[in-house]
Amino acid sequence: MVPRYARPQMTALWEPEARFRIWFEIEAHATEALGELGVVPKSAAKALWDWWATNPAIDVPAIDAIEAVTKHDVIAFLTWVAEQVGDEARFMHQGMTSSDVLDTCLAVQLARASDILIEDLDKLLDVIKRRAFEHKLTPTIGRSHGIHAEPVTFGLKMAEAYAEFSRCKARLIAAREEVATCAISGAVGTFANIDPRVEEHVAEKLGLAIEPVSTQVIPRDRHAMFFATLGVIASSIERLAVEVRHLQRTEVLEAEEYFSPGQKGSSAMPHKRNPVLTENLTGLARMVRSYAMPAMENVALWHERDISHSSVERYIGPDATITLDFALGRLTGVIDKLLVYPERMMKNLDKMGGLVHSQRVLLALTQAGVSREDSYRYVQRNAMKVWESDGQLSLLELLKADPDVSAALTAQEIEEKFDLGYHFRQVDTIFRRVFGEA
C-alpha cells in the first residue's frame, strides 16, 4: 500500500481492527448457531453479543502480544476475547478451523471493498453522464491511428466511457458475487466436527452465500476471477486517462485537467500545465493489472490447501482494492472538472480545411452523374492543395471555384456537404442506447 494512493474508507477495511471485528462477528454468529443446535449453551452467544453491544475497543497491541507467544493469530484473538468476555467465551470456535474464520473474513472484506468500488463507479458514471449531455453536440474531430478521420462529438466520447464503465460495474457486481461466500466446514471441508447449518447461519447473517464445497479453504479460482476483473477495470481507467493525456498535448489542447484560475503554470511558461493526474492513473492501471497474474497462480493450491496464496493476498488484497478505489476517485475528479475547449476542438477540426468532408462531396459528384474516376480526381486535386497549405486554404472555397465541380454541383449543394450536423444525426440514437434517454 502506498499511502499517497490510498483513501481512508478503503484503507480502514484492511486494518487489523477491521479484521478483528469481522472475526468476532463470524465467531459470535457461529456460536449462536451452535447454541441453537444444542452443541454449546445458548448463553455463550449471548455473552459474546452482550459484550459486543458495549462497543468495546479492539486492543490490537494486546492481541499481537498474545500472538507473539502462541504463534497463531486466530488463537491469539480468541484468547483476548475470552479475557474480555469471561468463561462463556470458551465455547467459541467449536469444531471450526482457523481457515473458516480467515477465509470468511476475506470474503467479507472483498465484498465490502466491492461495495465501495461499486459506489465509486456510480459516482464516476454520474459525472461522465453529466459531461456527456453537456457536450452531446460539441463537434470534435474523430481520429483513427492518431490521424484526423471524421467528426464526432465530445459527448460521444463520454458516452463511450459511460458504456464502458457501465460494463465495468456489471463485471464488478459479478466479481463480488464470486468472492462473497462463507465456508465453515472444518479442517478439510467435510464438516466432520461441525454441522453445515452453522455455515448457513453465519453466511446469512453476514450477507454471504454458502460455499457449496470447500477444502480447508475457499477455492481460489473465485479470487482469481475477482482480481482479474479489477485488472480489466483498471485497463478501462487507463483508456480514459490516455484520452485526456492526448487531448491535453500542446498541439491538440482540446481539453485539460483542471487548474484553478490563480494557479501558476510552472515558472514563466504559462502553457506548462501537465496532465499529471491522468499520467498517474496510467501507472496505477499498470499496477492493478499486474495483480491478476499472481492471483491466477494462486488457484492451483496443493490438495486440500497449501498456504502459498496467503502471502500473495496480503499484498494484493489491500493493494488492488485500495489502488483501484483511489484511481476511480481520481478519475472522477478529472472528468468532473475537465476543462473542455469547444473552440479549439472546432479549430482542430477545421485544421484540414474541410478535408473531412471530401468523401461526401465525392459521393455527391457520383450521384450527379460524374464518373467515379473523375469525381475522385476532382476532389483529390483540391484536397491536395488544401493539405499542402497546412490548413490555410479551404476545401469548400476551392471546390466552389473548380469549374469541373461547379459544372456538376451548385455552390449550395457543395456547401450542404460541408454540414457538420450531417454527421451527428444519430447521436440521439446512440445516447438513447447508452443512457436510455437523449
- Of 25 and 117, CB closest to a second copy: 117
* Cell, residue 245: 493525456
Name which of 62 and 253 has its Cβ closer to a second copy: 253
Q: Is 209 in the site for a second copy (CB under 8 A)?
A: no
Q: Report how far residue 39's alpha carbon sits from residue 37's, in angstroms, rounded to the nearest whole number.
A: 6
Task: Name the one range near a second copy by CB under 8 A: 57-65, 100-108, 294-302, 410-418.
Answer: 294-302
Contact (CB, 8 A) for 256 and 236: no
**Single-letter code of the amino acid located at 359:** Q
Q: Does 137 help bind a second copy (rule: CB under 8 A)?
A: no
Interface residues for a second copy in 374-433 (CB under 8 A)? 376, 379-380, 383-384, 387, 422-427, 429-430, 433
CB 199 within 8 A of CB 182: yes
Residue (23 or 155) nearer to a second copy, CB: 155
Q: Tell me whether residue 56 or residue 432 sits nearer to a second copy (CB atom).
A: 432
29 binds a second copy (CB under 8 A): no
Could you give the string, one character per residue 353-372, with x where binding to a second copy holds by CB under 8 A and - elsewhere? --xx-xx-xx----------
Measured CA to CA, the distance from residue 150 to residue 359 in angstroms comes to 10
Q: Does 274 bind a second copy (CB under 8 A)?
A: yes
**Helix ranges (DSSP H) in 143-218:** 154-179, 196-206
- Which active-site residues does the annotation give? 145, 266
Q: For residue 297, give the amino acid letter.
A: E
Is residue 69 classed exposed, middle or buried when 0-12, 13-18 and 19+ CB atoms within 10 A define those classes? Answer: exposed
Rounded least distance, CB 217 to a second copy, Å: 9
Q: Which amino acid, one-letter code, is at 437?
A: E
How many angstroms separate the CA atoms of 197 and 203, rounded? 10
Binding piece for a second copy, criterion CB under 8 A, among 35-43, 107-115, 266-274, 405-413: 266-274
* 431: nearest Cα among 159, 128, 161: 159
DSSP string covering 31-56: HHHHHHTTSS-HHHHHHHHHHHHT-P
Residue 393, amino acid:
L
The residue from 51, 77, 91, 291 that contacts a second copy (CB under 8 A) is 291
CB 386 within 8 A of CB 398: yes
Q: Residue 306, interface with a second copy (CB under 8 A)?
A: yes
* Nearer residue to a second copy within complex by CB, 243 or 416: 243
Nearest-10 Cα torsion for 223, 225, 227, 231: 180
3-state secondary structure of 113: helix
Q: Kindly state the smallest distance separating residue 239's Cβ from a second copy, in Å.
A: 4
Stretch that binds a second copy, among 48-56, 122-130, 138-146, 408-416 (CB under 8 A): 138-146
Is 304 a binding residue for a second copy by CB under 8 A? The answer is yes
Give the containing element (helix H, strand E) for 242: helix 221-248
Q: Using CB under 8 A, which residues numbered 66 to 95 contact a second copy?
A: none
Query: Of these, 93, 176, 245, 417, which contacts a second copy (CB under 8 A)?
Result: 245
Options 21-29, 275-283, 332-340, 397-405: segment touching a second copy (CB under 8 A):
275-283
Residues numbered 171-200 forming contacts with a second copy, rule: CB under 8 A: 171, 174, 178, 186-192, 196
Tell me the per-residue interface mask from 213 to 232 with a second copy, x by CB under 8 A, - otherwise. Answer: xxxx--x-xx-xx--xx-xx
Site map 107..136 versus a second copy, x via CB under 8 A = ------------------------------
Q: Of 289, 396, 405, 409, which one interacts with a second copy (CB under 8 A)?
A: 289
To a second copy, the closest distance from the beta carbon of 316 in angstroms equals 8
If one asks whether residue 271 binds a second copy (CB under 8 A), the answer comes out as yes
* Residue 34 neighbours by CB under 8 Å, 6+ apart: 40, 44, 45, 91, 94, 95, 195, 198
Question: Cα(438)–Cα(436) distance, rounded to whole angstroms?
Answer: 7
Which residue in 91, 319, 332, 414 binds a second copy (CB under 8 A)?
A: 319
> Any residues with CB less than 8 A from the CB of 329 and at least 6 apart, and which?
7, 120, 123
